[in-house]
Chains A and B, each alone.
Chain A
Amino acid sequence: MTLAPSIEEVIEDFNVLKCMQCGVCSGSCPSGRQASLNVRRLVRKIGRDHEAICDESLWMCTTCYNCQERCPRGIAIVDAILAVRSIAAHEGLILERHRHVANLLQEHGHAVPIDDTRKEKRIQLGLNSLPSTVHSHADDLEDVKCLLASCGFGEITGRKE
């Protein structure tokens, strides 16, 4: 199984300690307007406290990159959030709905696989009922499953806290 980065590596790699708490990130955050995500506070927490991996608001980021584009200190905020999420995931902190999507990928090679309603729509449009993706190529699906196993993806996403 592959390893997640350490929180110290995240802080170092993405310049987290350069934060001066100006709040441009929070003012630019579409999710922050609607939910409890406060990017400014989250960046401070990542810089100080391993407990940031348990912060529920980590998963409210839509990865729109507004904060990262506008940060006057050049902190790679979204990249840091994604890296902290991966630490959380490796410790079994994955939301149930996300675990479900991970299972779909492992079974079908698609996070969103085909269903009967959409097969009908494809036929109605004059397309093949299955697309030319792994859905039509069993050998390619096997390759995808082999890669997922090689990376230990099932162990990571199957793990519970």
Chain B
Amino acid sequence: MMRISLFLGCLVPNRYPGIEKATGICLETLGIDWKELEGASCCPAPGVFRSFDEPTWLALASRNITLSEKDERDVLTICNGCYGSLADANLKLKNNPALKEQTNSHLSQIGHHFDGTIDVRHIIEFLYSEIGVQKIKEKIVRPLDLKVAVHYGCHMLKPSSSRATASVERPSVFDELVEALGCTSVDYPDKMECCGAGGGVRSALGETALAITEHKLGKIEEAGVDCIVEACPFCHMQFDAGQVSLAGKGREFGIPVIHYSQLLALSLGYSAEDVGINLNEMDCSDFCNLLGNKKD
């Protein structure tokens, strides 16, 4: 089994720590050789920081990567944004000697050096290709009879020129991993569309971001599901805190939002409280009760 270091990023540890807890449970139960990437910073976020200055973005991203290179471990990300930043930066530096030299001149000031010896992985792609749907099925102690709206988000798959995953328009890897847990992945219009948060839009133009979110939530609502499952805490926050904002404007959806690590931990026998689903911004108590009943 390969060795990995878990990159936490910002939103998981500092906003939705239940995802951090759930991911540890999953990696442990699946018998993966892992440890947290100590001393890591912001990836840094591609939408804002890459927008401002690409050399800064590369310098900070490469520092995170070199921390893992020293440990001879691949980096595992649990956020599409972190994956987008670290995988794109890693590839750029591996393929462009001039950029690598420029970045290493910054890194030399802190005694680091980018060698280009490891890869950056996303938890969905990692679980699918390194563990596999069948092995995950065998680990399940509590099949989840849930109707689920799967939300891939953008940077897990795109830009496809720097991703290992297959189809951009009609992917199935995430749906297969969700269905492995006993859930039904319900198809819905605009399934591959953005949550609205990325590119710095949520942070600076919140109303535009929220309008995109409302459109997508409307399609999910029509599909009639028990919850949304994503693999990115930024999408998680946009759907979760976004529903609180929309409720304040009189538009109630009431659709719980869960990261795949949390869903997997539930199917491994852990409770909704164990993995912090009750700590979402919106009230998920009905959903937690539903899961409680299903455990019996």
Contacts and interface: CB of A to CB of B under 8 A. Distances in A.
Given A35-B205, A62-B199, A82 B50 contact: yes
A35 B51 contact: no
B107 A69 contact: no
Interface residues of B, number: 65
B279 interface: yes
Contact of A124 (B168, B196, B279): B279
Interface in B211-247: 211-212, 215
Interface in A65-86: 65-66, 68-69, 78-79, 82-83, 85-86
A140 B39 contact: yes
Interface in B126-182: 154-155, 158-160, 168-169
Interface stretch (B52-60, B117-125, B285-293): B52-60
Nearest to B52: A89
B10 A112 contact: yes
B42 A147 contact: no
A147 B59 contact: yes
Nearest to B24: A127
Interface string A100-126: 011001000111111100100110111
Contacts of B158: 64-66, 68-69
B110 A147 contact: yes
A63 B49 CA distance: 13
A146 B197 contact: no
B79 to A, nearest CB: 11
A147 B10 contact: no
A61 B205 CA distance: 10
Interface of B: 8, 10-11, 13-15, 17-18, 20-21, 36-42, 44-56, 59-60, 63, 106-107, 109-110, 112, 154-155, 158-160, 168-169, 190, 193-194, 196-201, 203-205, 208-209, 211-212, 215, 274, 276, 279
20 contacts: A33-B212, A59-B199, A59-B204, A61-B199, A62-B209, A62-B212, A65-B154, A65-B158, A66-B194, A68-B158, A82-B54, A101-B203, A112-B10, A118-B14, A121-B276, A140-B38, A143-B63, A144-B41, A144-B60, A153-B53
Given A60-B208, A61-B199, 10 more contacts: A30-B194, A62-B196, A95-B204, A101-B203, A125-B17, A131-B8, A141-B41, A147-B60, A147-B107, A153-B52
